[in-house]
Amino acid sequence: MTPERRKRIDRLKKIIVRTILLMILLPLTGCIILGIRLFRADRTMDRLTDQIIFLEGALQRSIDEKDRTEAIFRISEGVWQKMGREEENAQTAQEAVAAAGNDAAVKEVRKVYLTFDDGPSIYTGEILDILAQYNVKATFFVTGKRKEAYADMYRRIVEEGHTLGMHSYSHEYSNIYASVENFRKDLERLNSLLYNETGVISRFYRFPGGSSNQVSQTDIRELTDYLEAMEITYFDWNISAGDATSAPVSSEYIVDRVITEIPRFTDSVVLLHDAAGKRSTVDALPMLIEKIRALEEETEILPITEETPLIRHTPEE
């Protein structure tokens, strides 16, 4: 065998061996790669399976949660309805109680408003002392007095919790009832006097002689319209104590007149006078208060306020 030939054979052998090795290695490598991929796929598959199981669980839980929420919703709806019904019941009960209370107030507590016209006078201090002693608040329809001593009375009326009303500055029928203009000037004069002395703007008025007086030369409607425009409320009376006469009356007479009349009304506005010469009115006051308080039906003594029923002689149009 020539060296040449041997070389060729060796080369061939090498080629054959390599080919065989290649034929073995290639599929083997392929198998390994496939194996690895299969393994990975398997693991992914496991993870996905786990995830599916987890999601199924979550889904089930959320379905349960939904059911539970719906159940809670149904329960709370029931509770709301029940609460609504209870609230309605409570309201009805409250209204019934309030209605009963109103009935009771109308039936049981009668109200008396003591009013003193024409002051201040020499008796105002004494009247205020008696009212304080009995803890009674009243209403004073005052006139214009310049005396310094009377300025103190205006102030005491306010400070001691009574209502300060106006009864014209001059109390001269011929002047104040001559025209609306005269009436206005007189009222403004008294109003500013009272404001300067007490710091209070009086909101109440009593016509000298009452709103039904026959002396006014001006239509009383024009005057009441003026008061309304000024937001001043006027009051007349439904019980007269009978102390207006020039001839003196006894204090017993005053007390009897008022006490006999009170049971006729739910609200009584009592006309009394605070003027020189009206001594018996002062003397009647303690007895009057005691007898009002001793009345069989419960009776309150109050000052006039915005809430007081309008007792007037001039009927509303």
Q: Which helix (H) or strand (E) holds 164?
A: strand 163-166
Identity at 123, one-letter amino acid code: Y
Give the gyration radius of the chain's Cα atoms.
Answer: 52
- Residue 141: beta bridge partners? 117, 165
Q: Is the dihedral of CA 263, 264, 266, 271 positive or negative?
A: negative
- Please state the closest distance from residue 289 (CB atom) to Zn ion, in A: 22
Instruction: Considering only the stretches 111-119, 124-132, 173-181, 210-218, report the one whose residues sit in contact with Zn ion under the rule CB under 5 A.
Output: 111-119
3-state secondary structure at position 208: coil
Residue 118 or residue 236: which is nearer to Zn ion going by CB?
118
Residue 197 or residue 243: which is nearer to Zn ion going by CB?
243
Distance CA 29, CA 35 (A): 10
- Please state the closest distance from residue 100 (CB atom) to Zn ion, in A: 42
Residue 208 or residue 303: which is nearer to Zn ion going by CB?
208
* Residue 234, φ and ψ in degrees, nearest 5: -105, 150
Residue 119 or residue 303: which is nearer to Zn ion going by CB?
119
- Please state the closest distance from residue 208 (CB atom) to Zn ion, in A: 5
Instruction: Considering only the stretches 86-94, 110-118, 194-202, 305-313, report the one whose residues sit in contact with Zn ion under the rule CB under 5 A.
Output: 110-118
- Please state the closest distance from residue 133 (CB atom) to Zn ion, in A: 26
Map the footprint of Zn ion across residues 152-211, applying CB under 5 A. 208
Instruction: Considering only the stretches 36-44, 118-126, 190-198, 284-292, report the one whose residues sit in contact with Zn ion under the rule CB under 5 A.
Output: 118-126
- Please state the closest distance from residue 298 (CB atom) to Zn ion, in A: 31
The yes or no reply on residue 243 touching Zn ion (CB under 5 A) is no
**x/- contact string, 204-233, with Zn ion (CB under 5 A)?**
----x-------------------------
Using CB under 5 A, pick the residue from 114, 117, 144, 202 that binds Zn ion: 117
Instruction: Considering only the stretches 42-50, 51-59, 115-123, 132-140, report the one whose residues sit in contact with Zn ion under the rule CB under 5 A.
Output: 115-123
- Please state the closest distance from residue 265 (CB atom) to Zn ion, in A: 22
* Residue 269, φ and ψ in degrees, nearest 5: -105, 115
Using CB under 5 A, pick the residue from 111, 112, 113, 118 that binds Zn ion: 118
HSE (side-chain half, CA atoms, 13 Å) at 147? 8
Distance CA 246, CA 251 (A): 15
Q: Number of residues in contact with Zn ion, rule: CB under 5 A?
A: 3
Distance CA 297, CA 134 (A): 19
Q: Are 157 and 142 in contact (CB under 8 A)?
A: yes
- Please state the closest distance from residue 167 (CB atom) to Zn ion, in A: 6
* Residue 264 CB coordination number (10 Å): 9
- Please state the closest distance from residue 103 (CB atom) to Zn ion, in A: 38
Q: Where are the alpha helices (DSSP H) in the chain?
A: 3-108, 124-133, 148-159, 173-176, 180-198, 220-229, 251-261, 279-293
Instruction: Considering only the stretches 11-19, 58-66, 75-83, 116-124, report the one whose residues sit in contact with Zn ion under the rule CB under 5 A.
Output: 116-124
Mind giving me the DSSP string for 209-245? Answer: T-TT-S--SS-HHHHHHHHHHTT-EE---SEE-S--S
Token code pair at residue 194: 């009272």
Instruction: Considering only the stretches 62-70, 113-121, 182-190, 307-315, report the one whose residues sit in contact with Zn ion under the rule CB under 5 A.
Output: 113-121
Contact residues for Zn ion, defined by CB under 5 A: 117-118, 208
